[in-house]
Amino acid sequence: MASTDKAARRAKFEGAWNGIRDELLDHFKSCGMPQEAQEWYARNLDYNVPGGKLNRGMSVVDSAEILLGRKLTEEEYLQAAVLGWGVELLQAFFLVSDDLMDSSITRRGQPCWYRVPKIGFIAMNDSFMLESAIYRLLKVHFKKEPYYVDLLELFHEVTYQTEMGQLIDLITAPENEVDLNRFSLKKHSLIVIYKTAFYSFYLPVALAMLFCRIPTSYTLPSSSEPIAPYEVAKEILIPLGEYFQIQDDFLDFSGVPAQIGKVGTDIVDNKCSWCINTALAYATPEQRKILDENYGVKPTEEEKELAKRMAAGKNGEEQGYLGEAEKRVKKVFEEIGLREKYAEYEEGVYKKLNAMIDGIDEGAPGQQGVLKKQIFTSFLGKIYRRQK
């Protein structure tokens, strides 16, 4: 039943995109853009925006309904969906440009946009257009709202924060220049918070809060001090986002393709992940030497050929294939007890986040204009002990 409900929610959210997409294209056409450019922009939108899980965008709608304590009217739903698709447009902007910077090959099971024939470096401008579409939509749908400037500032601030995180990531872990001395758990935390947590977790909820007219500060009879709800939300959602990424890093190491839907590549790609940083913190000098010599090392041509042959076989796609260097790194990960350390981390952060959520004062039953615990328990419930 839950899966049917989720499918229906997704279908409704995707239905809203069709109208938003047409609105963007109609405006583009009204500016006198030639047919060729219209087709290019339409293809950019279709290829890069609606294909993902849509969790970020749908979270805006879900959070708004929790805050209001009821289903949204059709008019309210469209407004909330515009904000949700604004988050998805921002995500598309990040991914298109990130794939170009990283020379990535595939995204969401298809070639990265810049690798599509005739696209190339035009993908850079296409990514800018995806970002600018957000502000076009905000102007049309929210210009008359008292919180319009707050929406603009929120999108701009979170975009800037994400770009800061991207910078640290790019200069800390260039794919073909391995130097584990640049890595640390503190730097990993900074990258994750700025590159992922702000836009993936805080942004959708903060947008819903603005949409539902949650003030920046309020006082409840049960609390002596004024409550700053946006700060309270941030204090929970940022560590929640960090937990999500650490979980992602761990699944890249521990999961198999049949489980997580992809072959883990963090080790060969020299990613500044939680796994390598935790290993570095506990490694003996001998283990550190193995990590220095093998982390970020690409498979040999012979290993690549063997991987292809295995993939063509009965179990190849499910098992994947590890090069010798990657095997040595994973062996060190196992020796230092990475699985146990992750399990300990997960239980600790889950307990801490639940305590923070329990501390939220919701005021009187059914009270409007205040934070609701359900927003955060909903996020945490989807993440805790996930396997993919």
Catalytic residues: 53, 93, 98, 102, 107, 169, 195, 244, 248-249
Q: Determine contact, residues 36/148, Cβ cutoff 8 Å.
A: no
Cβ-based neighbour number of residue 314 at 10 Å: 8
d(CA 221, CA 49): 44
H or E, element range at 139:
helix 122-142
Is residue 110 classed as helix, strand or coil in its secondary structure? Answer: strand
Tokens standing for 329? 């790194």
Q: 239-278: b or e for each residue (b if 16 or more CB lie within 10 Å)?
A: bbbbbbbbbbbbbbbbbeeeebeebbebbbbbbbbbbbbb
3-state secondary structure of 330: helix
Around 102, how many Cα atoms within 13 Å sit in the side-chain half-sphere? 21
CB 113 within 8 A of CB 119: yes
d(CA 381, CA 26): 40
Q: Is 46 strand, coil or helix?
A: helix
Tally helices (H) and strands (E) across the chain.
17, 2
Q: d(Cα 36, Cα 38) in Å, to the nearest integer? A: 5
Report the candidate in 270, 35, 20 with the shortest Cα–Cα distance to residue 130.
20
**What token pair was written down for 175?**
């794919």
* Nearest in space to 276 (alpha carbons), one of 338, 320, 232: 338
> Degrees (nearest 5) of the Cα angle 171, 177, 182?
50
